[in-house]
C-alpha cells in the first residue's frame, strides 16, 4: 500500500516544466466543467467544512475540508489560516496539505502540499465566476489586499479578461509596493492606490484581505462603475466579512458553497435574503448569469472542498505526466493483517 507524496520540490518542478499559465488554464477549464457537473446534479455536493478557531494572541483557524466523489475517492484538505505567520514565523498565511483516500479501502493514495495549489484554485474559481458575471472586455482589475491570494487572483483573471492595468491597495504599504514585482510575469502596469480609488475605477474588484473578525468592510460602497463585478475572497470565517452591506444590497450574488455561505461568507450580513443561484448553477446554465453582466455582481467565495478535489486531480495529472512524486509506505500493511504487530 503506497502513497504518492508531492512535496514542494515536485510542485516547483511542475510549475517550471509545465508553466504557471498552462496549469492555471487547466484549472479554470476543469473547475468550470466540474462546477457545471455539480450544477446538473451529476456529482456529489461537498459538505460544509469544520475546524477550530483560535483566539488569543495568535488568532487563526485550522480547518478540515472533505469531499467525496462516490466510487472514486475522498479528498481531504487540512488547511490553516494564520494571519500572523508572516511576521512571526516567516510562513505564508495559508498552509496545509491535501490528501486523497481510496473510496473502497480508505487507503491514502496521494498526499500533497496544499499551499500553492490552494492559491491557484482560489484564483481559478474566481476566474470561472468572473468570466460568467463580469462585463466582457473588462480591462481594469483592482485588488484590495496584496498578499499571496492577490497574486493568483491577478494571474487567473488575466487568463480570462483582456486586462490592461492592475490597481493594488493594502493597509501595509510594503505589501502593496512589493506586489508589482510578484506579478511582473503578467507584464501589466501595476499602480498602488487606496481602496476608494480602486473601487471607483475597477471593472473587476477582488477583496483578498486578512481583515480580522469584525474588522470589515475593507472598501466603501461607492462611487463605483455600474457594471462592477466583485470577487469577495476573504470572507471565510464567522464574523469575518470584507464588503459593505450597501454594495451587497445592490448586487446579484453568487456563492461557491451554499452550505458555507451563511455561516462564513458575505451572506452572514444578509440573514433574510435567499441565497440565489450558486456558481455550480451558473456554470450549468450560463443564461442565468447573462442578465447581470452590465450591473453589479458579487462572487461570494468561502472556499470549496469540491474545488480542492478537482485541483488535486489536475496536480496529480501533471505529476504523472512528468513522473514526479515519491511513493511511500506511510500506512502499515502487516504481514498478517489480523495481527497489527506483524510489520
Ligand X SMILES: NC(=O)c1ccc[n+]([C@@H]2O[C@H](COP(=O)([O-])OP(=O)(O)OC[C@H]3O[C@@H](n4cnc5c(N)ncnc54)[C@H](O)[C@@H]3O)[C@@H](O)[C@H]2O)c1
CB of 38 to ligand X, least distance (A): 16
- The reply on whether position 145 binds ligand X by CB under 6 A is yes
Of the candidate spans 1-9, 102-110, 281-289, 299-307, the one that interacts with ligand X by CB under 6 A turns out to be: 299-307
- The reply on whether position 234 binds ligand X by CB under 6 A is yes
Tell me, rounded to whole angstroms, the distance of Cα 325 from its chain centroid.
Answer: 24
Q: For the segment 65-94, give every residue that binds ligand X (CB under 6 A).
A: 81, 83, 86, 93-94
Q: What's the CA gap between 67 and 100, in Å, rounded?
A: 10
- The reply on whether position 255 binds ligand X by CB under 6 A is no
CB of 138 to ligand X, least distance (A): 21
Instruction: List the Cα angle 99/27/40 in 5-degree steps.
Output: 90
163-182 footprint of ligand X as x/- string (CB under 6 A):
-------xxx--x-------
- Burial group, residue 49, by CB count within 10 angstroms (0-12, 13-18, 19+): buried
Q: What's the CA gap between 244 and 313, in Å, rounded?
A: 36
Q: For the segment 183-212, give every residue that binds ligand X (CB under 6 A).
A: 208-211
- The reply on whether position 144 binds ligand X by CB under 6 A is yes
Determine contact, residues 110/324, Cβ cutoff 8 Å: no
Pick the closest to residue 209 from 258, 161, 176 (CA basis). 176
Of the candidate spans 26-34, 62-70, 139-147, 160-168, the one that interacts with ligand X by CB under 6 A turns out to be: 139-147
Judged by CB under 6 A, the residue of 43, 99, 116, 118 near ligand X is 118
Of the pair 50, 70, the CB lying nearest ligand X is at 50
Of the candidate spans 19-27, 142-150, 157-165, 321-329, the one that interacts with ligand X by CB under 6 A turns out to be: 142-150
Radius of gyration of the chain (CA): 20
DSSP tag of 27: H
Of the pair 37, 86, the CB lying nearest ligand X is at 86
Judged by CB under 6 A, the residue of 24, 36, 233, 319 near ligand X is 233
Which residues 6+ apart lie within 8 Å of 341 measured at CB? 334
CB of 150 to ligand X, least distance (A): 6
Determine contact, residues 150/179, Cβ cutoff 8 Å: yes
Of the pair 138, 207, the CB lying nearest ligand X is at 207
Determine contact, residues 280/36, Cβ cutoff 8 Å: yes
Judged by CB under 6 A, the residue of 69, 112, 128, 146 near ligand X is 146
CB of 108 to ligand X, least distance (A): 23
- The reply on whether position 120 binds ligand X by CB under 6 A is no
Using CB positions, name the residue nearest to ligand X: 147
Whether the bond between 202 and the residue before it is cis, its omega within 30 degrees of 0, is no
Q: What's the CA gap between 247 and 287, in Å, rounded?
A: 23
Pick the closest to residue 65 from 84, 48, 82, 45 (CA basis). 48
User: Binding residues for ligand X, how many (CB under 6 A)?
Assistant: 29
Residue 318, Cβ neighbours under 10 Å: how many? 20
Q: What's the CA gap between 145 and 230, in Å, rounded?
A: 13
Where does this chain bind ligand X (CB under 6 A)?
81, 83, 86, 93-94, 118, 122, 144-150, 170-172, 175, 208-211, 218, 233-234, 236, 301-303
Amino acid at each position: 500500500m503506497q502513497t504518492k507524496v508531492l512535496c514542494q520540490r515536485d510542485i516547483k518542478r511542475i510549475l517550471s516544466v509545465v508553466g504557471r499559465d498552462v496549469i492555471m488554464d487547466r484549472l479554470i477549464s476543469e473547475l468550470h466543467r466540474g462546477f457545471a457537473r455539480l450544477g446538473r446534479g451529476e456529482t456529489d455536493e461537498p459538505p460544509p467544512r469544520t475546524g477550530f478557531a483560535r483566539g488569543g494572541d495568535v488568532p487563526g483557524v485550522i480547518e478540515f475540508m472533505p469531499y467525496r466523489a462516490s466510487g472514486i475517492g475522498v479528498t481531504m484538505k487540512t488547511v490553516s489560516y494564520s494571519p500572523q505567520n508572516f511576521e512571526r514565523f516567516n510562513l505564508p498565511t495559508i498552509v496545509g496539505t491535501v490528501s486523497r483516500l481510496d473510496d473502497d479501502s480508505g487507503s491514502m493514495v496521494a498526499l500533497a502540499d496544499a499551499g500553492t495549489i490552494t492559491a491557484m484554485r482560489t484564483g481559478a474559481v474566481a476566474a470561472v465566476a468572473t468570466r460568467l458575471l463580469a462585463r466582457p472586455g473588462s480591462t481594469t482589475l483592482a485588488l484590495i489586499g496584496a498578499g499571496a491570494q492577490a497574486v493568483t487572483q491577478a494571474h487567473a483573471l488575466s487568463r480570462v479578461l483582456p486586462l490592461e492595468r492592475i490597481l493594488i491597495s493594502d493597509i501595509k504599504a510594503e505589501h502593496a509596493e512589493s506586489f508589482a514585482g510578484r506579478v511582473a510575469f503578467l507584464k501589466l502596469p501595476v499602480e498602488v492606490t487606496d481602496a476608494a480609488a480602486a473601487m471607483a475605477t475597477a471593472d473587476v474588484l477582488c477583496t483578498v484581505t486578512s481583515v480580522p473578525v469584525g474588522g470589515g468592510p475593507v472598501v466603501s460602497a461607492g462611487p463605483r462603475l455600474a457594471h462592477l463585478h466583485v470577487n469577495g475572497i476573504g470572507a471565510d470565517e464567522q464574523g469575518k466579512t470584507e464588503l459593505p452591506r450597501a454594495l451587497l444590497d445592490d448586487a446579484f450574488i453568487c456563492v461557491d458553497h451554499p452550505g458555507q455561505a451563511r455561516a462564513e461568507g458575505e451572506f452572514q450580513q444578509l440573514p433574510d435574503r435567499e441565497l440565489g443561484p450558486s456558481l455550480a448553477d451558473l456554470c450549468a446554465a450560463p443564461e442565468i448569469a447573462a442578465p447581470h453582466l452590465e450591473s453589479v455582481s458579487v462572487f461570494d467565495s468561502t472556499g470549496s472542498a469540491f474545488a480542492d478535489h478537482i485541483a488535486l486531480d489536475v496536480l496529480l495529472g501533471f505529476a504523472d505526466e512528468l513522473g514526479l512524486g515519491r511513493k511511500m509506505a506511510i500506512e502499515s500493511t502487516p504481514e498478517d493483517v489480523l495481527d497489527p504487530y506483524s510489520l
